[in-house]
Structure 1
Amino acid sequence: MKLGAIEAGGTKFVCAVSDENINVEDRAQFPTTTPAETMAQVFAYFEQHPVDAIGIGSFGPVSLNQDADNYGFITNTPKLAWKNYDFLGAMKAHFDIPYYFTTDVNVAAYGEYQAGAGRGKKNILYWTVGTGVGAGYIQNGEFLQGYSHPEMGHILLRHDPRDLGFEGVCPYHGDCFEGLAAGPSIEKRFGKKGNELDPSNEFWEIEANYIAQACVNATLILRPDIIIFGGGVMKQSQLFPQIQTEFVKQMADYVDFPEISNYIVHVELGDDAGITGALMLAKKATE
């Protein structure tokens, strides 16, 4: 049995093929441009590498309500070329095989749950902070989903007093979590990417404050066993002790939580979390 995966990100698409034991045999990536250009490359890839099922993790928002007319669509995305695009329908029109369709953060969460930092945990929260901010939550082995998937990247936070003049970059909410802490917000403030900013810059304390606030909110609402962070911004290793310290301060001994160094942690699978999870979900689709 051959399994396929698509990790559809706002910047790039990654496609991969594995055997039934999730040993990756081939992978490719290409820029996220327009549906016509990018999906042509996806179709060509799986024509060259036939598979028995595909797991898809897509940037969003996406419609995951299987009773909705737009199930499988990318919906109200700021990437306007992809707005209201029938992603799953386009795939089914080309390949009549089983699919597992979910968000890009959900597939990464599943990879970490099965094979990364979430191994052995029942309830894990995976958060990515990069070009955007998004989260996937797994409770007792199932994705948290109501009317559709959560959008925890757009929760509202309190402005750090040192950052009051920054209005945020989210086109919908301005200074939500994504608007204050995602990669583009750093570029807006400094005119350069976060990885070009000195690790000792005071801004990282501000960033840690925002991320800690999000962790406090998630802890009070979800009570996860672990909070796992991935994404380009989180490759700043100095952030983790800063977030952990700020989290403890903000929580103020109100509720208990696991030992902090084992509670707010970095992704173990790195940039492979999404592809790994998508392949695992492809296998689940065949079952």
Structure 2
Amino acid sequence: MEYYGSIEAGGTKFVCAVADEELKIVERISIPTTTPEATLTQVDAFFGAYQLKALGVGSFGPIEVNRQSSTYGYITSTPKPGWKNVNLLGALKERYDIPIAWTTDVNAAAYGEMHLGAGKKTQSCIYLTVGTGIGGGAVVNGNVLQGFSHPEMGHISVQRYKNDGLESTCPYHDNCLEGLAAGPALEKRTGVKGQLLEIDHDVWEIEAFYLAQALMNYTLVLSPEKIILGGGVMKQTHLFPKIRESLQQQLGSYVSLPNLENYVVGCDLGDNSGTMGCLLLAKEQRGLE
């Protein structure tokens, strides 16, 4: 029997899975991200037990998604040691003579959620993951959004919360969303990891302000039918009403939004958003080749 394969390539772990024709997951494993050689050796060991007919890859980035580029398929300027300028797609093509879909991890998650999760019955959505970093993917008219490169939604500039003097945790930007609102910023503000903070801590108002400001900007530019929030920080579900309230305040009455409880939502697929998106892209890629 032939299977579809998925690789959700993260900076901390590679999540690999195989699924049948109906995209029912047969097996799923997590492999620590070490060196490219060691990590791919373990990937090969997992897929070696299956006959694959197509593979979907959603990778941490930045990555090159422009097919006209000489570095198409590369992980480019990542700070992850050992992975800068690694031709990940090329290495996979050498191993597997099958159709391979290639995109970012968050684009894959957005695609999975739109077709199989919280974004079902829509043709456009944004998926934003808020954790160690912040990344976002968009699906517009049913297709993953990309131009000369892929979106970097976590690095948009934001106006600071009143009297917020935190030194950004992003090494590139002083006032970007990731530097002021990702998990490390929460911990830097409080000295406590986000999952251990009390739900009534004042820091959640700051967090909601920054995330709502970002959602306002995405809404004004892309007008998605739904915004889906995932990642470790968003497991603090008490944040959702705070974000919705702040979004409404910051937008004012300029744009008429859908019901906010249906517009800003959590992910339905949980930790499988990226995996299911990769599997779906693999199946579609096979149909294209």
For the aligned pair, the TM-score class normalised by the smaller chain equals: over 0.9
Distance in 1 (alpha carbons) for counterparts of 2:119 and 2:32: 30
Whether the 8 Å contact between 1:63 and 1:74 is mirrored in structure 2 is: yes
> Which residue number in structure 2 is paired with residue 200 of structure 1?
200
Which moves more between the two structures, 117-126 or 182-191? 182-191
Distance in 2 (alpha carbons) for counterparts of 1:191 and 1:94: 45
Which moves more between the two structures, 227-236 or 27-36? 27-36
Opposite residue 56 of structure 2, the aligned amino acid is G
User: What is the deviation of 1:9?
Assistant: 1.2
> Which residue number in structure 2 is paired with residue 168 of structure 1?
168
User: What is the deviation of 1:96?
Assistant: 1.0
> Which residue number in structure 2 is paired with residue 129 of structure 1?
130
Large movers: runs of 4+ above 3 Å:
none
Distance in 2 (alpha carbons) for counterparts of 1:150 and 1:89: 22
Distance in 2 (alpha carbons) for counterparts of 1:33 and 1:185: 25
User: What is the deviation of 1:271?
Assistant: 0.6
> Which residue number in structure 2 is paired with residue 189 of structure 1?
189
2:144 is equivalent to residue 118 of structure 1:
no
Distance in 2 (alpha carbons) for counterparts of 1:51 and 1:154: 36
SS in structure 1 at match of 2:248: helix
> Which residue number in structure 2 is paired with residue 80 of structure 1?
81
Q: TM-score, normalised by structure 1?
A: 0.97
Distance in 1 (alpha carbons) for counterparts of 2:84 and 2:180: 24
> Which residue number in structure 2 is paired with residue 155 of structure 1?
156
SS in structure 1 at match of 2:274: helix
Per-residue Cα deviation, 1:116-168 (whole angstroms, up to 9, x for no partner): 11001011111111111111111111111110111111000011114x22011
2:73 is equivalent to residue 65 of structure 1:
no
User: What is the deviation of 1:109?
Assistant: 0.5
Distance in 2 (alpha carbons) for counterparts of 1:143 and 1:176: 24
User: What is the deviation of 1:48?
Assistant: 2.3
> Which residue number in structure 1 is paired with residue 24 of structure 2?
23
For structure 2, the 5+ residue unaligned runs are none
> Which residue number in structure 2 is paired with residue 39 of structure 1?
40
Distance in 2 (alpha carbons) for counterparts of 1:191 and 1:167: 14
Distance in 1 (alpha carbons) for counterparts of 2:11 and 2:241: 29
Q: TM-score, normalised by structure 2?
A: 0.97
Residues 268-279 of structure 1 aligned to structure 2 (within 5 Å): 268-279=268-279
Which moves more between the two structures, 173-182 or 274-283? 173-182
Distance in 2 (alpha carbons) for counterparts of 1:130 and 1:34: 23
SS in structure 2 at match of 1:74: coil
SS in structure 1 at match of 2:227: strand
Residues 206-225 of structure 1 aligned to structure 2 (within 5 Å): 206-225=206-225
2:104 is equivalent to residue 103 of structure 1:
yes
Distance in 1 (alpha carbons) for counterparts of 2:85 and 2:261: 41
Whether the 8 Å contact between 1:169 and 1:175 is mirrored in structure 2 is: no
- Identity rate, percent: 52
> Which residue number in structure 2 is paired with residue 90 of structure 1?
91
Residues 244-259 of structure 1 aligned to structure 2 (within 5 Å): 244-259=244-259
Distance in 2 (alpha carbons) for counterparts of 1:75 and 1:228: 27
User: What is the deviation of 1:207?
Assistant: 0.3
User: What is the deviation of 1:81?
Assistant: 1.5
> Which residue number in structure 2 is paired with residue 261 of structure 1?
261
User: What is the deviation of 1:49?
Assistant: 2.5
User: What is the deviation of 1:50?
Assistant: 2.8
User: What is the deviation of 1:188?
Assistant: 2.2
Which moves more between the two structures, 196-205 or 185-194? 185-194
User: What is the deviation of 1:229?
Assistant: 0.4
User: What is the deviation of 1:34?
Assistant: 1.8
Opposite residue 161 of structure 1, the aligned amino acid is K
**Distance verdict in 2 for CA 1:175–1:54, change over 3 Å:** same
Opposite residue 36 of structure 1, the aligned amino acid is E
Whether the 8 Å contact between 1:78 and 1:171 is mirrored in structure 2 is: no
Opposite residue 115 of structure 1, the aligned amino acid is L
For structure 1, the 5+ residue unaligned runs are none
Distance in 1 (alpha carbons) for counterparts of 2:174 and 2:130: 16
Distance in 1 (alpha carbons) for counterparts of 2:94 and 2:264: 42
Opposite residue 217 of structure 1, the aligned amino acid is N
